[in-house]
Structure formats: structure tokens, C-alpha cells
Structure 1
Amino acid sequence: MGVVLGWLLNFPSPMNRITAQNDYRGKLNKLIDFIENEYVDDVDTDSIVDLTVNNILAELDPHSVYIPPSEQSSEAELMKGDFVGIGVNFYMHNDTVAIINPIKGGPSEKAGIKSGDRILFADNTKLYGRKLPSDSLFSKLKGEVDSKVRLTIFRKSIGKTFKVDVTRDVIPIKSVDAAVMLNSQTAYIKVNRFAETTYDEFREALESLQKKGANSLVLDLRENGGGYMERAIEMADDFLKEKELIVFTKNRKGRVNKMFATDEGIFEKGKLFILIDENSASASEILAGAVQDNDRGIIVGRRSFGKGLVQREMDFNDGSAVRLTVARYYTPSGRSIQKSYSEGTEQYFGDFEKRFENGELYSKDSIKIADTLKFKTKKGRIVYGGGGIVPDIFVPIESEHGQESLAYIMQSGVVGHFVFEQLDKNRKPFSGISYTAFLQKMDKTDEYFNAFREYLSENGVQINVAKNKPMVKRYLTAEFARQLFGDEKYFEITLREDPMVKEVLKQP
């Protein structure tokens, strides 16, 4: 009788169980409250909620994600296209904030801060030797417009420490990395993401290059993981004729929303080439797909990532947010370029390794596409869905001796850190040097090539760089140029031997 009585007192009746099964939201809230009030040990319920949300979203798709407060603010700034701060590029060198270079025209440059300077204190807060997390460090350097921060600077070149007041200001985060002329008629624009300011940056760059005689455009979307779909649509509108379909979306209820070009395009007739690679995703694929399906231009490079899902963001009061997939998008021909995620998130994002293994990165014939997913462009050309945009002209990854990973190393932050350390050791050889003299110096010497080979070895990277010496020297020279003369010089150097750009310039 005691067992029966205990069962009746401590468990819900069948009717209550049915109600509880339907009350999913209440169940989750009750569980959190139960743990918070009754669990034997102290528990951070916020972390439990975060874990719960992450687990729920993990069951949906790889792009429905939870963004904690510490990451959301920086994400928001990146997509907004600016922030309020002191205006420096830096990295942590031996647990100290080391200035790579102050942003031209920014607060720090105006205050006299130079490349190689170390920031020891922000007001009275010590910034060195503490292993501060990025969000804590940034919070000391950011603030309100026109607010002041007193920095304690150590200048290695003179061996002195001094204080300087810096007035914070709005610092743009550029999404157009470069806008240069490749020759007298061909313009090149590199876009790294689709943020709020991207279209304005792009249009300003394009109009400037048109004034220089550009009637052909190379739009570089390599390594561009996407962003706001609306910015990609605005850019596509500049290339397409009025009423040409750019993209359409479809939600779970079957509602279709179509986006068409207007009559306001500023580059509807010139030759157009779009560069893509395995890391071009989302909004980049929308733009490339619209150009390809409307037969407006030529897509050059390697198969894109394959993200055809549209997210909507919901913010929480604690500063965190959830991005939830709410629709799929389709290119004008009707193809979804979303690759399968049925095998889980790890396999989904590990698709890059499969492309290495099956040879896709250096042979178009190795691209795995479903023959059943055939679609036709406006002029009747066959294109494929189900896994990224397949380029019209394939260009393998840059490597002369099968060392594909070396190309990625040379375009990574590793090179930037190495170059900074070399300059930090001795800036005198580059003091007051002209750009022409700099190029001649870098061409004649193997000093930095040999140092970089040792640097990789010391950091556990075993790769024979000697087999690709010209490529390695080119990227080293370009990174030195970036840190000494600015971003555009970096692209001037790398674009000369860029395989995709060279392929474009061969076209009639």
C-alpha cells in the first residue's frame, strides 16, 4: 500500500501526463527552475540554457546557431561596417598588444602612434602580461565617440615609454579590400563580405574605376562567406537588366518571394567575371548564381561552398542571439545550391577535406555533382544544383608541386605574424624606402624567404617551401608591402601572378 500511495502522490495521473507531453515550453522552464532551486551543488543555469539552446539548434541544420553575448557584439559590428575605437591593427605579441599599423587618418595615427608600438596601459588598466580575453581587451580600447583614453606606449625603436591621449572615433570596417585597374580597361574589386556598407563601398569603387576607363570588371568573391542577402541583390542589380530575376526564396509554407533587377544598374553592358572558390558562400553564391543563370558574365575558379539557406536573427535581452533558418533560396534557373547536411555538422563543414582527397581542387573532372539536378540558364546552357556554384572556367588551387596546403598558409595570418616580427626586429632597412626600391630589395634578397622557412619549421609546420619559392617570395613581399605601404599594394603584387586573374586576362 505504501508503494501504491507513493506512486499516486509523486507521479502525474494519465491525463496530467498527456497535458505535460504537450507543454514542451513549460517542461523546459520547469526543468531549469528545478535545477536552479533543488540541485545539490551550485550550478550556472545560464550555461545550462546555452547548452540546451545549442543542442536544440544542432538538431536543425548547420546554419541555425546560437551566438553568445561575447561574440554577438563583435559580429554585429562586423556586419554594421564600423565601430568606435582608437583605430589600430594589432595582434598579441608575447602577451602584449603590438601595433601592426595605425589606420590611416584614424585617432591613433593623429595621436602619433606608430607601427611597432606596444600598448601597456589603457588609462589605469594594465594590458600586458595578463592574457586578457579578446572581449575584455577590446572593451578597454573601444568606447563612445569623442571619449578619450590615455594610453601608455612603449616605443621599441627608441626604447622609451610615454603617455598619449587618444580621442575615440568611428572606425570603418571595410568590406571592399581593393579596387584597382588590372590594365587600361579592366577593373578589379575584392569584396570580403556583405555587410551594411558593402554596396555603398562597391558602388563608389566601381564608379571611380569607370572614370579611369574600366569597361570590364573582375569581381573577386573568393573567401567571401556571405552576409546580408540584400547587399548581394543590390550588387546583382547593377549587372542585370530590368525585370531579370536575381533570386527567389521559399519558406516552409511554400511562400515564394522573388527579387528582380531594376532599371538602375550602372554596369549592365561591360564584360563581367566573378571569381569564386570553395569558401565563397551564401550571398556570394546568390550573386554568382544570378550572373551565371542570366548569362550575364563568366564565373571563374572552383566550386563554391554550397549554402542555400536563409537565416533570420532573433536577439535576446542578455545580448545573445539566435540565427534560425527560415527559408531556402534558389537561383533564377530554379536550382538550390545547398549541399546535403544529412550526415551531421562535422561532415558538412569537413566537406573541404573531401574535396582535397578526391582531387576536386585541381581537376574539374573530379567535381562531384548530381547529374539529375540539371537546370538551364537563360540561353539554354546546362548548370547544376545541389552543392555550390560550379564555375564556367575552372582554375585549380595555386601549387606547382602538389603542395596545396602551402597556398593556404601563404594567404593566412601566419604570414602576417611572421612579417610583423621581422619588421619588429629591425625596421631600419625599410625606413624611408620608396615602393620601387622596396620591390627591388625584396626581389634580390632571400633573407626573408630563408627566415620564413625556419619560422615554419620552428612552429611545427613541415613543408618544403623551396619547391614553390617564387610563390612564397611573392606572398612575403606582398605582406611586407601591406604593412609598410597599405592594403592596395598587397593586391598589386599578388594579382600579377594570380592564376584566376591571369585566366581572366586571357579571355577575348
Structure 2
Amino acid sequence: MRNNRAQVRQPLLLAFALACGVLLGANPFRPSDQNPDGTARGYLKFKEILSYVDRDYVDTVDAEALSDYAISRMLERLDPHSTFIPAKQQQQASAFLQSDFDGVGVEFNLFHDTVTVVAPLSGGPGELAGLQPGDQILRLNGERVSGVQLTVEQMSAKMRGPRGSSVQFAVRRRGQNKPLNVAVTRNRIPNNSVDVAYMVDNQTGYLKISRFATGTYDEFKSALGDLRRQGMSRLVLDLRGNPGGYLDRATRIADEFIGGTRKIVYTDGKGDQYDTQTFSRVAGEFEEGPLVVMVDEGSASASEVIAGALQDHDRALVVGRRTFGKGLVQQPITLNDGSELRLTIARYYTPSGRCIQKSYKGGREAYEHELSNRQRHGEFFHADSIHFADSLRFRTDHGRTVYGGGGIMPDLFVARDTSAYSAYFTRLQSHNLVREFALKFYQEHKAELEGLRFEQFNATFRISDAQLQALSARAVNDGVKLDAAGMRRAAPLLRTQLKAYIARSTYGKAGYYTVLNDQDREMQQALQALSNTSSLLALGQK
């Protein structure tokens, strides 16, 4: 199951950038021969101190927790992406990069401290058992889950469980006087990383990848092949907010766009043990034809590898804003107790020689605030606020100038659109009122909506002023004071979001993203750029 995400990209995904950019393979680590005496002295010193604390400290201590803390603090002295994951957190951390899991198979959200089904996944156990959009989950296996202040993460953990196990739901359904009991047998649920793929028009495809997980390449190949069969001759690849993941999945996807034998990425580590070079090697699915890659400040690691390779080889036009700048490679090392060390072993470089990693010399705190500093300095809104040293200048295959020094700078800058945002809009979002209103509207007009083809809905459906007023009135009842100016400012975005959520309930993800992208400034700039991509790259201009 998944919680439904708002149009605004969540900072949670960006946090995963700290742990993504992972190499696969057997653990090649062995005891250090660089400074064996120093390593031995440090080990003995730590062991001695921990023993004294455990034996003699005035209060009882958790020696294992202290050890985990000390390891984490030690790694902070290295770089921002070397991390230690305790055994009890390792499964949750790894789940982000898994392509499936055992569970119920519903998208849900929390409305007024009540878990509400947004949509059962098509063909999943929840749908087969009869769960419907709008169902409010009151109890799970007899345990009350409504009105008890559960988080989304806690509810997700309760719904997951071994394949074949059963979970009993007590649900409140619109039009029913009494709660219904629904038994669901858990099964394998796909955890898709290709969010959506659809045809924008009769020749333009759109494909969005949210992360690079175990099944991403296979999902991508299937989606791209389907778009090609529908007549796609040009493509928008959306990597906005994608924090990375497995490097080999990203390079295989890049290979589908790059012809011949050309470098995709290389890594440089200590000595030559972790120095690698990855080249294109297969006849790809889409090696010719206009291609635009969309990125933003949330695109990191493996996303930057793809964007950098396609930009350096003049294969695609990169549209959006400068990417995160995460170019450190982590090797996952499973420790004896089930915990995991993800140790930085190398740096990523694009084919032209650009280092993707931004500076972290100011320390971890400065690094963690780097994106907010970009915003404060105007980088999200003005391309000329970004300055690069001449020493960081590189050339693409066609001679265009690109810059290193952290992240991938797009060829076509698109400012972040905040014109519709207001404090009032933020309060509506924080109370989940927009999604709740849309779901209620869908329930009340389900038959009418499902009688329309999506094309009819998209062309004719509009959120009226009266419906926005009803949303405001609902918000007042929830403690959100009326703000007429804030509502006027947010009205265009609210109309789009409400329509998109209604489309999600009625037509699925393709309908949801189609509605959002129709009003997305970055997407519209990408579509406009597609018609100019071939001539722009052929001329070697920027």
C-alpha cells in the first residue's frame, strides 16, 4: 500500500538521496592494509572505553545503542552520504529500493485521524476483497486504528505482513448504516518506480521515474515499448524529485538512448580498486528522436548520471533547475548483526569529466541547508543567480559549454512557480482538506464521472467558484480560518489539484498526471523544447 502523494514533491524522497547511489555486488571489503597499527589502536581504545561505561557508569546503559551512536558520529566526519543503518531500521531503509512487498495493496491517506482508502491497487488483494475508494478503516484485526493518532508509516507497517496471511478490516462506507467487515489475504504487491507512462499527443510520450529500484529497468522497458507501439517518436523523461538508487539500473536506461559504444559514467576512488567506466553497449529502444529530460533540485545521484550522460553526448535537452549534486558512490556492507554500513568508495563523473558531487567542506549542517540557501539566493527563480568558475567549464560532444562543480545545470532553465502558493494553501494541504474534498466529490458523483471518457472529462470538467467556496467552508469547520486573499491566489492551483485528484479516483494515474501536466509550467516548457531539440543540438548551441 502507498499513501497518495500531493502534487508538491515531498521532502521525504529527497532525504533518501543521502542513502542512494548504491553499487550492487558481493562485499569486496577486507581488513585495511593502509594503516593497520592505527586501526588496531582505535579499535582497542573504543572497546576499552565501551567496556568501562558498560561496567562502571552510574546508570544502566544500552551498550549497543551507544555503539550505534558512536559509529554514526564517526561517519559524520567523513562525508554526508556515508551512513550506518542499525539492524532494526535496515529493512525499512532497503524497502525504498525493492520492486515489490507483501501487503494489502491500497493507497490510503489520513483524513481527520481516520485512515481512508484513496484507491485499491488494480488487481491487488484489497480490490479483490472489495475495498473501495472512500472506505474509512476503523479497526484492523480488532485493533482500533481510527482516532488514535497513527502515522502513515505506522499504518503501513500494520497493513504489511507475510504473503498468505489474513487481515480483517472493519470499514465505514458511504451509504451503509453499519461498519462492514472485509477480510483481505495479503499478497505480493508491485512497488512500481515508473510512476506513469502515457501519450501526450499522437507522437509525444511522457514517462516518469520516481527512483531506481530493483525492478526499474524492466518497468521502464515495458513502458517505453508500449509508448513506441502507440506511435511515440519523441519523449519527455521526467526525473524530477528522483533521489537515485541502483546505479546499474540507471546506466542501463541511459544505454537505451545512447547509440554506439560511448561512455555513460565513470567512478574514481582510492587507488584503482573502485575505478570503473561504464559504456553503452546494446542497441537501445530509443537511440534517435527528440528527447527532453526534466530535472530539478530533488533529482540526485543516479538521476544525475542519466541527465549528465545524455547532456554530454548531446542526446537530450535537459530542462528544469540545477540538480541536487549527489555524486558519491556508496558500497552497502552487511554487518554480522544485520545492520548495514553504506560507505562512500568513489565519486561519479560524467563522460566529459564533470564531478557531480557538490562541495561538503562546510560540514554536515551547511550541506543539509544547501538547498534552502539556493532558494534564499534566488537560484530557484533566476538562472543568472548561479555562477560557475571557469575552471569548471567542460564541453559536450558537439562543443556546447557545460559546467561541473555540483549537480547538472539544465540547458533550459525553468523557474519554480510559486505564484499560487500562500499560507492559506499550505494550511489546506496540512489538514489534507484538498484530497478529502476531491475524494468526497468522487463518491458523490461516481456514476456520472465513470460515464465519461477521460478525454471528455479533461476537456469539459471544471472546478467552479461554488466548489472552492464549499472547500473554504469545510476548512472553517476544521479550524482553518477563511482567507479571501489567500484563496484568490491559490485558486488556479486548487482547481488543478482538485481536478487531478478526482481524475485519479476515476481514471487512475495516467489521468492524474495528465491533468497536472496540462498546467505544469516545467512540463509545458519541455514540450515546447521538443520541437527545437534536434536543430538545437545539431548546431551545438546552448
TM-score range, shorter chain: 0.7 to 0.9
The equivalent of 2:49 in structure 1 is 31
Give the counterpart letter for 2:301 in structure 1: S
Residue of structure 2 aligned with 1:210, choices 216, 222, 228:
228
Confirm or deny: 8 A CA contact 1:369 1:387 kept in the other structure.
Answer: no
Question: Which amino acid in 1 is paired with 2:177?
Answer: G
* 2:465 counterpart (446, 451, 458): 446
Which structure has more relative contact order (CA 8 Å, sep 6+)? It is 2
> CA–CA distance in 1 between the matches of 2:76 and 2:338?
21
Whichever of the two has the greater Rg, that structure is 1
- Counterparts of 2:439 and 2:321, CA distance in 1: 37
1:77 is displaced (CA, Å) by 2.1
Q: 1:500 aligns with which of 518, 522, 536?
A: 522
Cα distance in structure 1, aligned partners of 2:444 and 2:151: 35
Aligned match of 2:489: 467
Partner amino acid, structure 1, of 2:211: R
- Hey, what's the Cα distance between the residues in 2 that align with 1:353 and 1:242? 40
In the alignment, is the contact (CA less than 8 A) between 1:415 and 1:476 conserved in 2?
Answer: no
Aligned 8 A contact 1:70 1:135 in 2:
no
Q: Match for 2:201: what amino acid?
A: N
Question: What is the identity, as a one-letter code, of the residue corresponding to 1:331?
Answer: T
1:305 to 313, 320, 324: 324
* Contact map agreement 1:419 1:480 (CA 8 A) in 2: no
Letter in 2 for 1:325: T
Give the Cα separation in 1 of the matches to 2:440 and 2:497: 20
CA drift of 1:189 comes to: 0.2
In 1: Cα distance, 2:185 partner to 2:341 partner: 34
Q: CA deviation at 1:179?
A: 0.5
Contact 1:289 1:331 in 2 (8 A): yes
Q: 1:117 to 1:464 in 2, by over 3 A?
A: same
Measured against aligned partners, the alpha-carbon deviations of 1:164-198 in whole angstroms (never above 9, x if no partner) come to 22111111111111111111111110111111111
Q: Structure 1 residue 134: deviation in Å?
A: 5.8
Q: Which residue of 2 aligns with 1:111?
A: 129
Partner of 2:110: 92
Q: Is the 8 A contact 1:415 1:479 kept in 2?
A: no
Structure-2 separation of matches of 1:75 and 1:275: 27
Within 2, Cα distance between the matches of 1:327 and 1:21? 21
Q: CA deviation at 1:31?
A: 2.2
Please state whether the residue corresponding to 2:96 is helix, strand or coil.
Answer: helix
> Kindly tell me: are residues 269 and 21 of structure 1, through their superposed partners in 2, closer, same or farther at Cα, counting changes over 3 Å?
closer
CA contact (8 A) 1:308 1:330 kept: yes
Counterparts in 2 of 1:250-289, with a 5 A limit?
250-255=268-273, 256-289=275-308
Distance in 2, Cα, partners of 1:266 & 1:368: 37
C-alpha distance in structure 2 between counterparts of 1:20 and 1:286, whole Å = 36
1:237-248 alignment, distance < 5 Å: 237-248=255-266
Between the aligned partners of 2:492 and 2:114, the Cα distance in structure 1 is 33
| d(CA) in 2 for partners of 1:477, 1:393 | 29
Per-residue deviation, 1:207: 0.6
Secondary structure, in 3 states, of the residue corresponding to 1:108?
A: helix
2:98 aligns with 80
8 Å CA contact 1:90, 1:99 repeated in 2: yes
Give the letter for the 1:142 counterpart: R
Closer, same or farther: CA 42–443 of 1 in aligned 2, 3 Å: same
Q: What letter corresponds to residue 185 of structure 1 in structure 2?
A: Q
Task: Using the TM superposition, give the Cα deviation of residue 340 of structure 1 relative to its aligned residue in structure 2, in angstroms.
Answer: 0.8
Listed one character per residue, the Cα deviations across residues 193-241 of structure 1 (whole Å, up to 9, x for unaligned) are: 1111111111111110111111111100001111111111000000111
User: 2:391 is paired with a residue of what secondary structure?
Assistant: coil
- Structure 2 residue runs without a partner (length 5+): 1-36, 533-542
Greater shift, 303-312 or 320-329, is seen at 320-329
Q: Aligned-pair distance for 1:115?
A: 1.8
**SS at 1:27 equivalent:** helix
CA 1:133–1:361 in 2, change beyond 3 Å: closer, same or farther?
closer
CA contact (8 A) 2:422 2:489 kept: no
Q: Secondary structure at the match of 1:443?
A: coil
Deviations 1:270-302 (Å, cap 9, x if unpaired)? 111100111111000000000011111111111
Distance in 1 separating the partners of 2:219 and 2:120: 21
- Map of 1:344 onto structure 2: 363
The separation in 2 between residues aligned to 1:158 and 1:323, in whole angstroms, is: 51
- Structure 1 stretch displaced more, 38-47 or 293-302: 38-47
> Which residue pairs with 2:3 in the alignment?
none
CA RMSD of aligned residues (A): 2.9
Distance across 2 between alignment mates of 1:461 and 1:387 = 43
Return the alpha-carbon distance in structure 2 between the equivalents of residues 398 and 267 of structure 1: 31
Report what 2:16 is aligned to: none
Equivalences for residues 410-429 of structure 1 within 5 A? 414=429, 417-423=432-438, 428-429=443-444
Aligned to 2:502: 480
Q: TM-score, with normalisation over the residues of structure 1?
A: 0.87
Contact 2:270 2:346 in 1 (8 A): yes
Q: What is residue 313 of structure 2 aligned with on the other side? A: 294
Match of residue 412 from structure 2: 393
Deviation at 1:453, TM superposition (A): 5.7
What is the deviation of 1:118?
A: 2.8
Partner of 1:65: 83
Cα deviation code 1:42-65 (max 9, x no counterpart): 222232122112211111111112
Query: Post-superposition shift, 1:424?
Result: 6.1
2:203 maps to 185
Q: Is the 8 A contact 2:439 2:505 kept in 1?
A: no
State the aligned residue count. 485
Task: Name structure 1 gaps, 5 residues minimum.
Answer: 1-18
CA contact (8 A) 2:463 2:495 kept: no
Per-residue displacement from partner, 1:11-60 (whole Å, max 9, x unpaired)?
A: xxxxxxxx999521122222222222222212222321221122111111
Residue 327 of structure 1 is matched in structure 2 by 346
Distance 1:291 1:20, change over 3 A: closer
Conservation of the 8 A alpha-carbon contact between 1:449 and 1:476 = no
TM-aligned CA deviation for residue 139 of structure 1: 4.0
Does 2:373 match 1:354?
yes
Distance change (3 Å), C-alpha of 1:458 and 1:285: farther
Structure 2 CA distance, aligned partners of 1:201 and 1:52?
40
Output the CA distance in 2 between the equivalents of 1:376 and 1:461.
Answer: 54
Alpha-carbon spacing, 1:345–1:242, altered in 2? closer, same or farther (3 Å): same
> Structure 1 pair 306/99, CA: closer, same or farther in 2 (3 Å)?
same
Distance 1:440 1:243 in 2: 45
| Pick aligned residue for 2:166 from 135, 148, 157 | 148
8 Å CA contact 2:438–2:498 kept in 1: the answer is no
Give the Cα–Cα distance (whole angstroms) in 1 for the partners of residues 63 and 134 of structure 2. 44
Tell me by how many angstroms 1:127 deviates: 3.0
TM-score, scaled relative to structure 2: 0.82
**Percent of counterpart pairs with the same letter?**
38
The match for 2:12 is none
Which string of whole-angstrom CA distances, capped at 9 and with x for unpartnered residues, describes residues 383-410 of structure 1? 10012111111111124x4x6x569x78
Contact map agreement 1:97 1:128 (CA 8 A) in 2: yes
User: After alignment, is 345-354 or 166-175 more displaced?
Assistant: 345-354
Is the 2:243–2:299 contact (alpha carbons within 8 Å) kept by the matching residues of 1?
yes
Deviation at 1:428, TM superposition (A): 4.8
